[in-house]
Structure 1
Amino acid sequence: MTTLPQTPEDIPNAFAAAWMARDAKVLAALFAEDADFVNVVGIWWEDRTAIEEAHNYGLRTFFSKSRLAIGRVKTRRVTADVAIVHARMRLTGQRAPDGSEAAGRSTILSFAAYHTDRGWQIVSAQNTDIVPGVETQLNTGVDLTPVDYRSR
């Protein structure tokens, strides 16, 4: 049985540790059985099994040599037993489709978690890419393009 984080602030480190160990089972065990996870492109996994399967695939393939570093973490206690945790993370070592190493990228991973008798368990997570210098995405009809409407 996976040990759950003992504080909400421990959640990002537990997630990163499972990632770095390439252990999708431990990573998924951080989540409630009926948890949700939305990845950076909007793929929505709706239970622990789906979260494990998706991460197992990624961690064995294009993320097999990746590194995940935790930056700023901010926690908001909604109640004594419910918390929202935002963690800025830096991902490096992702493999491109041609096998080369892609440039690193930064994300914000947001977790909603609740306290159980075993520790803090994630009920929802959303990963959002940070795209410096832009405000939104624009659908050009062909693809999504980062854009900035502010005057320069």
Structure 2
Amino acid sequence: MGCELDTAGVAEAIEVFISGWNDHDLVRHFSVFAEDADFVDVVGRRMRGRAEIFADQSARHAQRFAESSVRTLDLDIRMLREDVALAHYRWEMVGDRGPDGSGTGVRRGIFTFTLCRESGAWLVVAAHNTESIV
């Protein structure tokens, strides 16, 4: 399988992540995370394992992110090996109500994903989300 097909598979996994968020379907959103995935959220909290990540993010999504949506500003994928990829996903979010419920306007940031192909499927094994102030 060539790198072009692998890159397409990685992009597909990221699209599931995005569309799951926008459809407010967090089961689908995190279905592309490995069971033992690591995640550092936008405020620097580290979570381990899909179950912990899902529980934390589901609670947040039900409150401040219930009406949010994200769009892709840029997706850059670099194949590290035929079964390992590094993806940088620049995002823009609207509809975040903020921690106090007053709204935050437009937010932007970047996710760094490490994905591995396991049994033909691309799964996120590590993710780090950083908000951009520019």
TM-score by length of 2: 0.88
More helix as a share of residues: 2
CA distance in 2, matches of 1:39, 1:17: 19
CA distance in 1, matches of 2:11, 2:100: 37
Q: What residue in structure 1 maps to residue 127 of structure 2?
A: 125
Equivalenced residue count is 128
Q: Out of 110-119 and 61-70, give the one that drifted further.
A: 110-119
Q: What residue in structure 2 maps to residue 146 of structure 1?
A: none
Q: What residue in structure 1 maps to residue 76 of structure 2?
A: 74
Q: What residue in structure 1 maps to residue 44 of structure 2?
A: 42
Q: What residue in structure 2 maps to residue 12 of structure 1?
A: 14
Q: Is the 8 A contact 2:17 2:29 kept in 1?
A: yes
CA distance in 1, matches of 2:24, 2:56: 12
Q: Out of 84-93 and 97-106, give the one that drifted further.
A: 97-106
> Displaced runs of 4+ in structure 1, greater than 6 A?
none
Structure 1 gaps, min length 5: 1-5, 133-152
Once the 2 structures are TM-superposed, how far is the Cα of residue 87 of structure 1 from its aligned partner?
A: 0.6
Task: Name the SS of the counterpart of 2:91 in structure 1.
Answer: strand
Output one character per residue of 1:109-147: Cα deviation in whole Å (capped at 9) or x when no partner: 111001122410110000011111xxxxxxxxxxxxxxx
Q: Is the 8 A contact 1:13 1:70 kept in 2?
A: no
CA distance in 2, matches of 1:99, 1:68: 18
Structure 2 gaps, min length 5: 1-7
Q: Out of 14-23 and 83-92, give the one that drifted further.
A: 14-23
CA distance in 1, matches of 2:101, 2:44: 24
Q: 1:31 aligns with which of 30, 33, 37?
A: 33
Q: Is the 8 A contact 2:97 2:103 kept in 1?
A: yes
Once the 2 structures are TM-superposed, how far is the Cα of residue 72 of structure 1 from its aligned partner?
A: 0.8
Letter of the 2:114 partner, please give it.
A
RMSD: 1.6
